[in-house]
Amino acid sequence: MVASNKAPMALDTITDGVATASLQDLADSSLPIFKVERVQLQFSISSDFVAAQVANNVLILALSTGRILRIDLDSPGDIDDIDLPKRPQEIGLIRCMFLDPSASHLIITTTLGENYYLHTQSRQPKALSRLKGVRIETIAWNPSLPTASTREILIGTSDGNVYEVYIELSNEFYRREEKYFKSVYRIPDGPITGLWVDLLPDRTDRRMVIIATETRLFHFTGRIGRPGQEGSGSIFTKLFETETPTIHEVARDSRPVPSTLSVSPDPPGGFPADGDDCERSYGWLSAQGVLHGKLRTSAASSNLGSNIFSNSVMLPRNKIPQSENASGRRKPTIDPIAGLLLTQWHILCFVDGRIVAIQRLDEKIVYDQVVLGPGDTMLCLLSDQKKNTFWLLTTQEIFEIVANDEDRDVWKIMLAAQKFDQASQYARSPAQKDAVAAASGDFLINKKRYLEAASVYGKSSRSFEQVALTFIDHGEHDALRKYLLTKISTFKKTYVMQRIMIASWLVEIFMSKLNSLDDTITTKAQLIEGTNTAETKDELGGIQKEFQDFVGTYKADLDRKTTYDIISSHGREQELLAYATAIEDSNFVLSYWIQRERWHEALDVFKKQNEPEILYRYSSVLMSHVGTELVDILMRHPDLNPRKIIPALLNYNKGNDIPLAKNQAARYLNYCINQLQSTDPAIHNTLISIYASHPSPSETALMSYLSTQSLNAKPLYDTDFAFRLCIQHSRVQSAVHIYSSMGEYSSAVDLALKHDEVDLASSVADRPSDTDPALRKRLWLAVAKKVINQQGVGSIKTALDFMKRCDLLRIEDLIPFFPDFVVIDDFKEEICAALESYSRSISTLDSEMDASAATAESIKSDIKQLNNRYAIVEPGERCRVCELPLLSRQFFVFPSCQHGFHSDCLGRKVLEGSGLTVRGRIRELQASIARGGRREREARELDALVAQQCILCGDYAIKLIEEPFVSDADDPNEWAL
């Protein structure tokens, strides 16, 4: 055989004698379930195939010359050519090969008893010395499908022994590939023809083992051993020594017949998470036929094997049609089954050159096709456990058996067996699902299982009237309700009328059921034997919950007026409330709870509202009963118009003597003012009204508010309205504060004195402060007059002490307020103290005048000395700004620091660092001088501004502290390090 240069395989289809088939035919469900495609290999064959294996889309072919070809079916042109270490003359021809499902491990056995191991990462097979002379017939790979090593696997031999071996690829020359090799079980009556090992769910220490011979099938289930280190010892020894197998046995045939064990591959989409379909199927070929069933792993019990075998079915050989002779007649003898494969739903048999496919569920033949011609010999039937593909090999050719929509008829079989759930699961088209639902409903009706039938009928296209009348005729109103609920869920949203009619009918049925249950509870009647009142109450609660769920789900399909009328006609207030809640009819729900004074229930509804009109409408009544909770809700809606809440607040405050600290109306208004920054005068006036009219004598809250408002340029409340309220409710302190905030200090003092509030009047009298000393003195005189009049002649001392509180009042200011009959002896001491104070003041003024005269003389002397100051300018001295010679043009020199500048340089720098006012004045003077104005006077002023201070020593230099040393205009390379 010569391999081509990565040439792809070509496919030639054999289906009912037709050589080719189009893709459209393949997609057509009318095509046969199976077809056989001949694989055209693009390389020449110089020798026969002697063995083959396929796994994970990798095909392994062994040739009679001893060569092994590894072909990746995903890239058919990639062919690896592998040779055994020795020639066939030394080790014999390749007898068979065993490839694990992951295509990672390959074991090769020859006719002379030599066994070799090849790992997918190696190109050189390694001899298995411990297995020398062992004639391997079958291998059970580790179910965990390891790739680095085989881990623990079971090997069945032709002499009836079962061995456990652990093989790991080794690169060391003297190290064996097999870590250990041990005999774990023996069957004395013949070769081992099949082995299978599987895990049990959620039990990592338990295994299920199937062993097949020509006449017997063994099933083991048990716990495996736990070696200290992986690969250090056998794990299956414990299982075989402690567990007794379940055995299924058949009679031995007089002539030799093939025997094999086949297990169904992984489904295309992987195993589901649960259910029976996650369990594999098996088929055992024996002399009697094919025993097939489920390899159940869901029940890890000792009788699992008995259950598997008792539920298995024997497909006898005589059910498979015989081959025809040249004349078209069937042969008189029964052809033996030469090969067996299991697909997901079918049994594939090779019989006398034919591929026969049998549906496992009903054992009907779905495909019977001649594949091989006269003289052709089948080599083997193979299945790819992972990729769900099936292959037939002869000594010269390769065929792929392709499954086309294999489970298309499963629903029919399940339906015929009255397995309606499985039938519905495998039904695909709406027509198929409908047929299953209708048949299932009819079956349940015949069994009088009306509630179950209701759910099924609801998903079918069976006549609505027919089904409804069936339930009505049998008096099954609960089933009718369930049917209608199921039916309405199947209608599309566009079926408006149908959905409305069914929904309305359901409301009527619900009301009738609830009334019936209420009547039963009221009369304590026994509806059926074994039913008591408590059970009826539980049922009532369940129906009420079901109704609530119904209206919540189908509220859009219920006409509001019709539904209200139906429920009201039955007097079902609770259900009326449930419906109104479902459709968010807040007016109805709130009215319902408020009329029953169920305030907390009303609040639960109220807090879910977002419509301002509803909040305004019900705030008045709720404010009077649950003010705190209502205000909490209102404060969560900052978008409300507080003006519309004012009536509720005033109604709450009417006749309410709750302390202001707990007054919820004041709390909400303060929230609007402080948090929402409301400037609405109505809000502020309402708060003043609540504070002023409160029966508490304290004005703390009102004064706190008024004081806060005094910080604004203009108060946000109506001052006239606030003043009238304060006067009406005798809030003198607040009224005085309002007068003061308006600047009416005289009126404020007069009002305070009118109510004998001398201290309050005194605090107001001090407010003009330095802005208007005359007014302040006049106010204090008014207060002093009030004090003197209150104290009378007997308390002149007290009046004089009060005089000391103001620095503007003197004794001569108070004398006119004393009565004429008061003698001077009563305040002689005060007069003497006043005269002494005047004397001290005169002396102080004399000292200040002398000091001023001395200061003036000192200034005159300093001015004379300034005229004699000078500075020496050297010939080479330069301007501190432009670095040019200073004497080249007009300049300034500062004698104190000896810094010199050109006039124009100094002027420019002063302009840059001066403020807008000085800069503008300098420019005005420069422009005026340029126009020929008063040059001498303006020049002096300009010089005074420009040369006011040295720009290196004065304020100008201080301002430059934030300027960077290197500006954007400078060359950065000059400062580079």
State residue 819's pLDDT score: 57
Q: Give the model's confidence band at 314: pLDDT under 50 very low, under 70 low, under 90 confident, else very high.
A: very high
Tokens representing 448? 């009088």
Give the amino acid at 25.
Answer: D
Lowest mean pLDDT among 64-68, 734-738, 777-781: 777-781
Tell me if residue 273 falls in helix, strand or coil.
coil
Q: Give the model's confidence band at 767: pLDDT under 50 very low, under 70 low, under 90 confident, else very high.
A: low
Rounded-to-integer distance, Cα 147 and Cα 119, Å: 9
What residue ranges do the domains of the chain occupy? Answer: 427-487, 491-583, 585-640, 824-869, 886-967
Query: Above 70 in pLDDT, residue 975?
Result: no
Q: Give the model's confidence band at 16: pLDDT under 50 very low, under 70 low, under 90 confident, else very high.
A: very low
Chain position carrying tokens 């050589």: 19
pLDDT in tens, 366-406: 899 899 888 788 899 999 999 999 999 998 889 999 988 88
Rounded-to-integer distance, Cα 441 and Cα 452, Å: 8
State residue 14's pLDDT score: 32
Q: Give the model's confidence band at 895: pLDDT under 50 very low, under 70 low, under 90 confident, else very high.
A: confident
Contact 640/615 with Cβ under 8 angstroms? yes
Lowest mean pLDDT among 293-297, 354-358, 519-523: 519-523
Strands (E) located in 122-169: 126-127, 136-140, 149-157, 161-168
In the β-sheet with 346-351, what is the strand arrangement from edge to edge? 339-342, 346-351, 354-359, 365-370
State residue 268's pLDDT score: 79
Contact 507/563 with Cβ under 8 angstroms? yes
pLDDT in tens, 829-857: 666 665 676 677 777 888 888 888 888 88
Instruction: Compute φ and ψ for 33, nearest 5 degrees.
Output: -65, -35
Q: Which residue has the higher pLDDT, 882 or 531?
A: 882
Tokens representing 437? 């639902």
Please name every residue paired with 59 in a beta bridge, in sequence order, or none if there are none.
54, 71
State residue 210's pLDDT score: 95
Q: Which residue has the higher pLDDT, 193 or 452?
A: 193
Contact 284/291 with Cβ under 8 angstroms? yes
Mean pLDDT (the chain) is 79
State residue 489's pLDDT score: 83
Instruction: Compute φ and ψ for 641, nearest 5 degrees.
Output: -95, 105
Query: Above 80 in pLDDT, residue 804?
Result: no
Instruction: Compute φ and ψ for 22, nearest 5 degrees.
Output: -80, 165
State residue 718's pLDDT score: 82
Query: Above 80 in pLDDT, residue 279?
Result: no
Q: Give the model's confidence band at 769: pLDDT under 50 very low, under 70 low, under 90 confident, else very high.
A: low
Q: Which of 241-250, 311-320, 602-611, 707-716 is modeled with the greatest confidence? A: 241-250
Query: Above 50 in pLDDT, residue 95?
Result: yes
First to last CA, the chain: 79
Q: What angle do CA 141, 143, 144 make, to 5 degrees?
A: 115
Query: Above 70 in pLDDT, residue 679?
Result: yes
Q: Give the model's confidence band at 200: pLDDT under 50 very low, under 70 low, under 90 confident, else very high.
A: confident
Per-residue pLDDT, averaged over 750-756, amounts to 71
State residue 188's pLDDT score: 87
pTM of model > 0.95: no
Tokens representing 128? 């298995």
Radius of gyration of the chain (CA): 56
pLDDT in tens, 650-661: 887 876 677 888
Rounded-to-integer distance, Cα 406 and Cα 402, Å: 10
Rounded-to-integer distance, Cα 601 and Cα 580, Å: 14
Burial letters for 149-185: b for 16+ Cβ neighbours within 10 Å, e otherwise? bbbbbbbbbeebbbbbbbbbbbeeeeebbbbbbeebb
pLDDT in tens, 506-556: 888 888 888 888 787 777 655 455 556 778 788 888 888 888 888 888 888
Rounded-to-integer distance, Cα 150 and Cα 243, Å: 25
Strands (E) located in 458-559: none
Tokens representing 906? 């100094």
Query: Above 90 in pLDDT, residue 165?
Result: yes
Per-residue pLDDT, averaged over 591-595, amounts to 78
Please name every residue paired with 439 in a beta bridge, in sequence order, or none if there are none.
none
Give residues with Cβ within 8 angstroms of 536, minimum separation 6. 517, 520, 521, 527
Query: Above 50 in pLDDT, residue 1?
Result: no
Q: Are strands 280-285 and 260-263 parallel, antiparallel or unpaired?
A: antiparallel
Share of the chain above pLDDT 70, in %: 81
Q: Give the model's confidence band at 328: pLDDT under 50 very low, under 70 low, under 90 confident, else very high.
A: low
Q: Give the model's confidence band at 742: pLDDT under 50 very low, under 70 low, under 90 confident, else very high.
A: confident
Give residues with Cβ within 8 angstroms of 951, minimum separation 6. 901, 906, 909, 910, 913, 957
